[in-house]
Structure 1
Amino acid sequence: MRAADLIVLLGTVGFIIAYGAIKTRGQRDLHSYLRSGGEKKWWAICLSIMATQASAITFISTPGQAYQSGMGFIQIYLGLPIAMIVISYLFIPKFYSLNVYTAYEYLEGRFNVKTRYLIAFFFLVSRGLGAGITLYAPAIILSTMLGWNLNMLCLLIGVCVIIYIYVGGERAVSQTHVIQMAVILCGMAAALLMLIRYLPSGVSFTDAVYLAGKMGKMNALDTSFNAGERYNLWSGLLGGFFLSLSYFGTDQSQVSRYLGGESPNQSKMGLFFNGMVKIPMQFFILFSGVMVYVFFLFHHSPDFFNTKALEQAPLSMQVRQQLADRQQEHRQNDDMMKQAALDAIHYKNTALENAGIAKLRALQQQDLELRSDVKKIIKTNAPQVETEDSDYVFLNFVLNNLPPGLVGLLLAVMFCAAMSSIAGQVNSLASTTVIDFYKRFYKKDATELHYVRSAKIATLLWGAAIIAFAVSAPLFDNLIQEVNIIGSLFYGTLLGVFIVAFLIKRIGGGAVFYAALLSEATIIMLHVFITLTHFRLSYLWYNPIGTALVVGISGILTVSGSRKTLPAG
């Protein structure tokens, strides 16, 4: 690593750790440690919500997804603004009226203690798994660039985050989020500006957008109704709405961000602005991936983006010669694509426009076939190398094309994103463990200082568990999708329970408890069936299906008189 990059990276990360630990040390009561003392303004809430959601996966995987398949992923967020409004007027008043530390405390008063335990347990499982993948993402960066041991990197990153969470709790999480978001936005803006600057002479920004559009990369909306497509307008509006409603309304990693607000109105404003800013921010990140695609139209790209792993693979000379031959073919095709792209721009708004675009598309198809051949060779001769390389696209561009110092800044962006998201998740896992299990079940009448110390111990234990799980993340093909899939397996059930709690007063604890168990079992079996049979159904539909199952089953049990035979608590 170049000295300038190392200075920027270590300086940024070191400052955040020191600031978070020193600024928030010495807390001795739960209100400060788990709810930031109830002092957060709306803008801090908004930034903290965004920082928790925008993990390093967002900045590694999302641009690669846009490079491969365009802007369609943005449709997953179309239901988010509506969800923010519903949460502001339905969830926040309930939580504030009871002065709860976690969302699941509310369920005991509304239903019974076992429903509270069940939903809190579902949260711990889903968030613990998701946090493990979130931790793995930045480890890709340094292991790819420096050749360090991946497991040691997971340990290093996890420890860096745990230091200031352990010391300052939610207050440390909130205050460091502001700095981390500033670094993230500045770094991504710098990367996009460099991508525009790298356009060849005579190719304008408008020309770049034109090419991306003609090659299908700017198609942000798919209005066709197809339940098998992961991303379209309808799955985004309905499935995305339920996913957002579940995540921001029932997931403690987000609920704790706004429960520390100065007032309910400050929390509502924080959510409103998150709903307004999130889609433009995600568009910006995806568009950066599209511009990476345009960049590689005019510059040579690798035929396999996970280049470091391939270099280290134990391949025979014969296999390496095969790959070298494919690389030569790929470079020749690159040269033809560059000329075809320039011709397409020149032919714009002329009779030759369609012919120019058709030629470019044909060359792109040849490029895809060459890349597919390379992956087949790698998979046959080095099965330990992950051939799904979309998560390496943006990283490859950063490491090989940006100037000294800016590489360090982009690495700091990904590191900050990982730290901000992991911090929020570990803090919420610890708070749920202490409030919903330890304090409620084991030790009800201890001092505030005792519970703060217990939360710190829970922070250490969850940090260790997340680090241990992170080493299995390479099993997944696309990190950003896997995080959403894990969440969707549980979020529908969680949301269904809260919908019943808020809106259907007739349904009691016994019915909703068994409905939640049946709903979760059904969603998991559905996912296993889809995985094994390759049946086409977007994971976004798990959220409304799970919600409908809880509401429907609990309603049926209640109407049929099952409430009389089911234990109430």
Structure 2
Amino acid sequence: MHWINWVIVVVYLAVVIVDGLRRTRGTKDIEGYFLASRSLPWWAVGLSVMATQISAVTLIGTTGQGATDGMRFVQFYFGLPIAMVLLGVTIVPFLHKAKVYTAYEFLERRFDPKTRSLTSLLFLLSRGMSCGTIIAAPAVVLSAIFGWDLIWCVLLIGLPTIIYTVLGGVEAIAWADVKQMVIIVGALLAIVVVLIIRLPVPLDDALRVAGSTGRLRVFDFSFSLTETYTFWSGILGGTFLMLSYFGTDQSQVQRYLAARSVDEARSSLLMSAYWKIPLQALILLIGVLVFLFYTFSPAPLLYNPRHDAQLRERQPAEYAMLESRYTAALAARDQAAREAAASSEPAALTNFTQQNASVESVRKEALAAAAKATGESSRDVNYIIPRLVLDHLPMGFAGIFLAAVLAAAMSSIAAELNSLSTASVVDFYQRWYRPSAGSTELLNAGKLATALWGVFACVVALYAATLGSLIEVVNRFGSFFYGSILGVFMLAMMKRATAFGAFAGLLTGMGAVAAVSFGAPQISFLWHNVIGAVVVVVVGTVLSLGNRPQPSMTNA
């Protein structure tokens, strides 16, 4: 990579880190460290909420998803606006007025300590694994760029971020998120412009070609429990996932608990309701444009350069045969694409889709051969956008993109680690081990917990990087836990729900999700959120019948 790109990366990261450390002066006590003394403006909280989601996973995994699968992934977010409105009138005002540090503290006031602890433990497991996936995304980029082993790339990203997070607090993280959003949106728009300019045919003609492969299809109104991205899975499963994520996940709750007031907390969530879907559509569109770019330009046989080199070295004859077939298939597809772009005849588009299928068939064989040769998963969707940026974008653009990826990763990882530390200290260390601990002791415990969770996330990252599309991996991890956690908070809003019903319902809900996940793996993970929440509410309600009701939520 050219030295100018490195200058861009170093300068941006230096600005973010120096400014973040400058803001640590308000982190001398536990409230300043975990909640920024509840002083953040709504727009900063809103950008921080969005930035926590738009991590390096999004820049890498979602663009790769768009290149291979098209726009239909955006249906995943159709439930977001519904969830934000519901949260604004339910959980947000209750949690903010309760002056709690974690969402799970509230469950003890409503139910009992064991329900609080179990729910917090489930959060720690799910978010700890998701944090590892967020580290894996930039590690994949560095591995693709320099050919370094993945473990060194994970440590390069993880260790500095752990140090930065231990020293800083949620205020430093939130303001870093604001800068992150600026550079991410700028980098995305720059890539869009470059890709459009590089197309050898008019944009509308190119999009018609992409549409023939189904990549511009946004809506799928079929109802299927086995299909992940449909309108109904987004509206139903997506709403339950977003309700749980934004309403019960400490990494998000901690953001609006740091807002100045309930109204500002609501406004911060509505920012995501308005802007998340258009921004996600832009990211997926970049993936479609990447597909078009490689349709009219030679595309790598394998986007993962390390697997490409290993397959070439270990199976030279097989690699040569695949490469020859792939080159011929690419040439035929390029010609068919140009003919389809110049003609509105259905036959031309049909011919292109057939030639594209031939290219994908050879690629599938190459991926299988690479998996056999390396003994690793060969799904390379996470390498598509890094290869494009490094091989084809003008000087300076690679530096901007890499700065965006690293900054997004550091900011998101820092946010996750801070929320994990908060739940660990408040829900376990202070609640069960040191109830009388002072602010200084809790602050030191929080920093130690941050470091330990950082090490755990680095270990998970090594595994997560081999699981395919990282954006899907994050949501699979979350969906295993989120529905059941949401069910407990739904019970908390029911006056007659009891502590026994809530705890038994939570256990039953997790059992039901586990049974579906391992016993019926064909059911899409988005429906796990619905299953978990419904089972918890139904079981908890039934078991609460005839028992003495707990205090109402409004009196908690």
Shorter chain as denominator, the TM-score bin is over 0.9
Pairing partner for 1:538 from 511, 521, 524: 524
**After superposition, where does 1:328-343 map in structure 2 within 5 Å?**
328-343=324-339
Question: 1: CA distance between counterparts of 2:252 and 2:470?
Answer: 20
Indicate the residue corresponding to 2:351 in structure 1.
359
The question of whether the paired residues in 1 share the 8 Å contact of 2:71 and 2:218 is answered with yes
Structure 2 vs 1, CA of residues 310 and 386 (structure 1 numbering), >3 Å: closer, same or farther? farther
Pairing partner for 2:459 from 456, 468, 472: 468
Letter of the 1:480 partner, please give it: I
TM-score, with length taken from structure 1: 0.94
Indicate the residue corresponding to 2:553 in structure 1.
none
The question of whether the paired residues in 2 share the 8 Å contact of 1:18 and 1:164 is answered with no
Question: 1: CA distance between counterparts of 2:174 and 2:472?
Answer: 26
**Structure 2 stretches lacking a partner, 5+ long:** 551-556
The question of whether the paired residues in 1 share the 8 Å contact of 2:205 and 2:342 is answered with no
The answer as to 2:475 corresponding to 1:484 is yes
SS class of match (1:25): helix
Q: Which of 191-200 and 455-464 deviates more? A: 455-464
TM-score, with length taken from structure 2: 0.96
- Report the alpha carbon displacement of residue 224 of structure 1 after superposing the two structures with TM: 0.9
Indicate the residue corresponding to 1:456 in structure 2.
447
**After superposition, where does 1:229-378 map in structure 2 within 5 Å?**
229-313=227-311, 315-316=313-314, 319-348=315-344, 353-378=345-370
Q: Which of 275-284 and 93-102 deviates more? A: 93-102
- Report the alpha carbon displacement of residue 471 of structure 1 after superposing the two structures with TM: 1.7
SS class of match (1:104): helix
SS class of match (2:383): helix
Structure 2 vs 1, CA of residues 371 and 313 (structure 1 numbering), >3 Å: closer, same or farther? closer
Question: 2: CA distance between counterparts of 1:540 and 1:500?
Answer: 21
Question: 2: CA distance between counterparts of 1:120 and 1:198?
Answer: 49
Indicate the residue corresponding to 1:567 in structure 2.
none
Structure 2 vs 1, CA of residues 156 and 54 (structure 1 numbering), >3 Å: closer, same or farther? same
SS class of match (1:276): helix
Indicate the residue corresponding to 2:541 in structure 1.
555
Indicate the residue corresponding to 2:103 in structure 1.
103
Pairing partner for 1:220 from 218, 221, 228: 218
The question of whether the paired residues in 1 share the 8 Å contact of 2:464 and 2:473 is answered with no
Letter of the 1:35 partner, please give it: L
Question: 2: CA distance between counterparts of 1:233 and 1:27?
Answer: 44
Q: Which of 184-193 and 278-287 deviates more? A: 184-193
**After superposition, where does 1:4-153 map in structure 2 within 5 Å?**
4-25=4-25, 27-153=27-153
Structure 2 vs 1, CA of residues 37 and 561 (structure 1 numbering), >3 Å: closer, same or farther? closer
Letter of the 2:282 partner, please give it: F
Question: 1: CA distance between counterparts of 2:217 and 2:84?
Answer: 26
Question: 1: CA distance between counterparts of 2:139 and 2:410?
Answer: 12
- Report the alpha carbon displacement of residue 309 of structure 1 after superposing the two structures with TM: 2.5
Question: 2: CA distance between counterparts of 1:5 and 1:321?
Answer: 37
Question: 1: CA distance between counterparts of 2:387 and 2:29?
Answer: 46
Pairing partner for 2:394 from 400, 403, 411: 403
- Report the alpha carbon displacement of residue 333 of structure 1 after superposing the two structures with TM: 2.1
Question: 2: CA distance between counterparts of 1:4 and 1:312?
Answer: 30
The answer as to 2:199 corresponding to 1:199 is yes
The question of whether the paired residues in 2 share the 8 Å contact of 1:313 and 1:385 is answered with no
Question: 1: CA distance between counterparts of 2:425 and 2:378?
Answer: 41
- Report the alpha carbon displacement of residue 563 of structure 1 after superposing the two structures with TM: 9.0
The question of whether the paired residues in 2 share the 8 Å contact of 1:511 and 1:562 is answered with no
- Report the alpha carbon displacement of residue 273 of structure 1 after superposing the two structures with TM: 1.1
Pairing partner for 1:418 from 409, 413, 416: 409
The question of whether the paired residues in 1 share the 8 Å contact of 2:307 and 2:370 is answered with no
Deviation by residue 1:293-351 (Cα, 9 ceiling, x = unmatched) = 111111010122112332145844xx323212322222222222222112112212xxx
Question: 2: CA distance between counterparts of 1:153 and 1:172?
Answer: 25
Letter of the 1:199 partner, please give it: L
Question: 1: CA distance between counterparts of 2:246 and 2:94?
Answer: 14
Letter of the 2:544 partner, please give it: T
Give RMSD over aligned pairs: 1.7
Question: 2: CA distance between counterparts of 1:185 and 1:93?
Answer: 31
Question: 1: CA distance between counterparts of 2:120 and 2:403?
Answer: 33
Question: 1: CA distance between counterparts of 2:111 and 2:11?
Answer: 50
- Report the alpha carbon displacement of residue 377 of structure 1 after superposing the two structures with TM: 2.7
SS class of match (1:225): coil
- Report the alpha carbon displacement of residue 29 of structure 1 after superposing the two structures with TM: 1.6
Letter of the 1:224 partner, please give it: S
Aligned-residue sequence identity (percent) comes to 37
Letter of the 2:342 partner, please give it: H
Question: 1: CA distance between counterparts of 2:290 and 2:463?
Answer: 29
- Report the alpha carbon displacement of residue 162 of structure 1 after superposing the two structures with TM: 2.1
Pairing partner for 2:508 from 509, 518, 521: 518
Indicate the residue corresponding to 1:388 in structure 2.
379
The answer as to 2:363 corresponding to 1:379 is no
Question: 1: CA distance between counterparts of 2:446 and 2:371?
Answer: 45
Letter of the 1:123 partner, please give it: F
